[in-house]
Amino acid sequence: MATAPTSSKLATVLRVTSGNFLEMFDFFLFGFYATHIAKAFFPAGDEFASLLLTFGTFGAGFLMRPLGAIFLGAYVDQVGRRKGLIVTLAIMALGTILIAFVPGYATIGLLAPVLVLIGRLLQGFSAGVELGGVSVYLSEMAPPNQKGFYVSWQSGSQQVAIIVAALIGYTLNKMLSPAEISDWGWRIPFFIGSLIVPFIFVIRRSLQETEAFLARKHHPTTAEIFHSIVENWQIVVAGMLMVVMTTVSFYLITVYTPTFGKSVLKLSEVDSLIVTFCVGISNLVWLPVMGALSDRIGRRPILLAFTVLTIVTAYPAMAWLTGAPSFQRMLLVELWLSFLYASYNGALVVALTEIVPASVRTVGFSLAYSLATALFGGFTPAVSTALIEMTGNKAAPALWMTFAAVCGLGATLIVYRRGEAGRVVTAAAE
């Protein structure tokens, strides 16, 4: 059956991004409650070591992403977008439920952190293709002149997850004491995530296959897909470097923000959650706006402009914040970094679906995204924590974001150099 008509495209977007929402919701919770998770599962001699172990476990999930991208991505390109997205949801749900119900270290000892790690690895394996599967589905069901706008809602669903997670966290802080949250209250959002799994599974099952996939006369075998990825390794590497900018920025301004505000700036947890909520709103506004703008003026101008802006302004903004920490300064700086991230990402995700050959679009996109997240973005909280500890400079995380922007700028110049322009358009049309 073909993709739903235009009148139901909004419903289709909501159905396809629902699983992406759940995946990101659980990822954010791990970052939001990192200090409590550290105490429950990774007790150590000092707060820094405990927190680093927690963020190391958080980052370990990202190491599974390339494997998920390769194996699940090949599966999606072979059997279809719809079936693949149902499989990723099932794997993701297993990881979520495991983390929600694992007893603490005090109860079952070393088995506790091991089970949490397994849950994170399952989530990472699923996430390896979730973003790619959703992005490719949206790009293939979108009208030709609105692909940037439609694909931006893949990232948009992540921002809704940030907003919901921050609202739940804020409510818990108002209803429970700090001791209750640290003891058991931090688990409540994870339970909520587990409870919505059946609902998302039902609505995702109603997805229809995309016309672009059904119209393809030849669906490559797994061996053919792997061969094509090897042949197109330069595209994958360039795409990975482009994604470094977006994934580092994303995890810096979302997952790391609550810990940064509380542990580094010594602001209240409520202040940090409010800032995170506002960042989610800001991202949700700018992503579709810039996605739509990229449909009008092209991807290249936006990608170049916002990597340069990030290189020039990220560190000065963070230095201004850490020079005299306050809620107001943190809000202003995080909203600026949000503008940089969302503007770049609004053009980046659709650009990535365009530069990867159509026959291996899901696995190629997912592999580029997963490698960037596994090697750079996923370890942003851990790298930020380590940079501050090693340098004594509270603004040091901005140096990591600046480095990511340099990667994005260089890759964009390579992909969109004059000789490549025609090939990029051709790849999009295949």
Angle CA(394)–CA(62)–CA(17) in degrees, nearest 5?
A: 105
CATH of the domain at 120: 1.20.1250.20
pLDDT in tens, 312-326: 999 999 999 999 999
Q: Which amino acid is at 387?
A: L
pLDDT in tens, 120-163: 888 888 877 777 777 877 887 788 888 999 888 888 888 888 88
CA distance 33 to 255: 9
Domain membership of residue 337 (yes or no) is: yes
For the ranges 52-56, 66-70, 267-271, 341-345, the lowest mean pLDDT is seen at 52-56
- Residue 1's pLDDT is 39
The predicted model gives 38-47 an average pLDDT of: 72
Domain membership of residue 169 (yes or no) is: yes
pLDDT band for position 2 (50/70/90)? very low
Please count the structural domains in the chain: 1
Report in angstroms the alpha-carbon separations of 34 from 22, 54, 147, 219, 401: 18, 7, 36, 43, 21
pLDDT in tens, 329-355: 999 999 999 999 999 999 998 998 888
Domain membership of residue 78 (yes or no) is: yes
Domain membership of residue 266 (yes or no) is: yes
- Residue 44's pLDDT is 64
- Residue 191's pLDDT is 86
Domain membership of residue 296 (yes or no) is: yes
Domain membership of residue 189 (yes or no) is: yes
Q: Domain limits at 422?
A: 6-429
Domain membership of residue 1 (yes or no) is: no
